[in-house]
Amino acid sequence: MKLDKPAFAVSTKADVLTKTIKKSSQIIAIWIRTGKYKDRFPIIRSTITYEARSKLDAKYYKKRFVSVLSVPKTHTKLSVLRGVSRVQITQLLSYTKRDKLIRTQTHDFDCFRSKRTFLSWKRRGKVIYTLVNRNRKLLGIAWFNKKRLKEDKKMPEIRIYSPARGKKIERKFLEIARKDFDTVCRKLTASKNR
């Protein structure tokens, strides 16, 4: 589901979010799991798109939000976000070290060996998109190279990590990231031409 201007519902009470979602399924529900309501789960678990740790975390999520991706044959919603958080960098480094498929089939270990090598790689003009579940767990990453903006085919790199493999979400994730990247490129080009 891609919305031009997404509508967010943010609350510490999961039942309030469930009622809001029942009124409109187009709303992105962010549950701030703090305080006395943190263990009161929603009536329908699939209504929650993201579980934030604080109001600041919810604000950061809204700022980075691109789209929601639904996993086929389940009620699971995943979020496609622009950029990568500190927690997700740590998860990325862990996947790179532990995932045999990533280690043997890609050159990721050269770029994602440590936080320092990752940040050095990122500074070389990468536009990053992450795929996360409602508990902030990194499930996939895609990136474009800003230096290739003028090329007709902007080919991204994409990685889907073991918890999300085989769920037929790669193509949707790639389409969402590419569409958003094209929008970003058009805005950059328009601002340069002024």
pLDDT in tens, 86-132: 999 999 999 999 988 888 888 888 889 999 999 999 998 899 999 99
Task: Indicate the pTM of the whole model.
Answer: 0.87
Average pLDDT of the chain to the nearest whole number: 84
The Cβ of residue 51 has, within 10 Å, a number of other Cβ atoms equal to: 19
Enumerate domains of the chain plus CATH numbers. 7-66 (no CATH), 86-193 (3.40.630)
- What integer pLDDT is reported at residue 106 of this predicted model? 87
Across residues 7-22, what is the average pLDDT? 85
What does 116-136 look like in DSSP terms, one character per residue? HHHHHHHTTTEEEEEEE-TT-
Alpha carbon of 98 to those of 85, 95, 104, 139: distances in Å? 20, 5, 11, 14
- Residue 127: closest CA among 112, 149, 111: 149
Residue-wise pLDDT for 29-71, tens only, equals: 888 887 776 777 766 666 778 989 899 999 999 999 999 998 8
- Residue 159: closest CA among 144, 141, 173, 174: 141
Q: Is residue 30 within 8 Å of residue 47, measured between CB atoms?
A: no
